[in-house]
Chain A
């Protein structure tokens, strides 16, 4: 009797065909696992670099605003609007005035207290002298495991009230 399926060879060739198919499937599944890993790693790297880029831009914006204003609250307001973020203030003994804010952000650096993916921590310190105040802003990004991802430090020099009688 003839096989109703014409694509399948009859007799010993059938066994050979199935043996080849099994070997091919095995090899292909192993190769696919390796290749899929490579694709997944590429996707992960791409997401990481995008996140780093966004953090860098966000930190750069904060640094630029702070350089002009010298104020942490104004920096936050211009960056994220007048949100409900909390600024912790402290008087450092001999080290000037310090303020700190920890903001929950999404991966796109949008303010998101509900579902934070990263945290942006801004710390303002000041070095005072008779001639003026050098304010320093440290911008740090951390993931939810408190692992540091990125950090920059910028500053603003605010001169004291100028001497009108100088050079007279």
Chain B
């Protein structure tokens, strides 16, 4: 009879189980909260970078248009595209490169967007009008083709 009494286990939740469950649940919630916060922070950084880039791009686009206005203002004052004074004035516009022909004048320039990219513009003047030949985003730095390190079978 005594043995039966001592071997009998108390039914229900024993001491310590609650603590273990609480630790497990708290760890799970902490991990989820950390993952959620990290994802939200990454999303915010990405949105901020994207918004900053948009602002930088349109600021650079405005600068490029300002340069176009300056070049147009210079070119419109001359009737001869080979005029020495015109070419001297174009030399004074920073970053502008030109190709002068008797019937047309092609001017190119680059406006930086940020450290890595810039807007490349090419405009052709002829018959007193201009035509935009090229207005696109290009990489500012020198691009080198990095080898992929693939075994070529040799």
Contacts and interface: CB of A to CB of B under 8 A. Distances in A.
A63 B58 contact: yes
A131 B50 contact: no
B152 interface: no
Interface of B: prevailing SS = helix
Nearest to B44: A49
Given A164-B128, A167-B128, A152 B54 contact: yes
A166 B76 contact: yes
Contact of B15 (A17, A43, A59, A154): A17
B150 interface: no
Interface stretch (B67-75, B89-97, B112-120, B139-147): B67-75
23 contacts: A7-B13, A24-B22, A27-B22, A35-B26, A35-B29, A35-B33, A42-B39, A43-B40, A49-B40, A49-B43, A53-B47, A56-B51, A63-B58, A127-B69, A129-B69, A129-B73, A132-B73, A134-B66, A151-B55, A152-B59, A157-B65, A166-B79, A166-B127
A55 B52 CA distance: 12
Contacts of A10: 10
A53 B51 contact: yes
A101 B44 CA distance: 29
B16 interface: yes
A8 interface: yes
A70 to B, nearest CB: 10
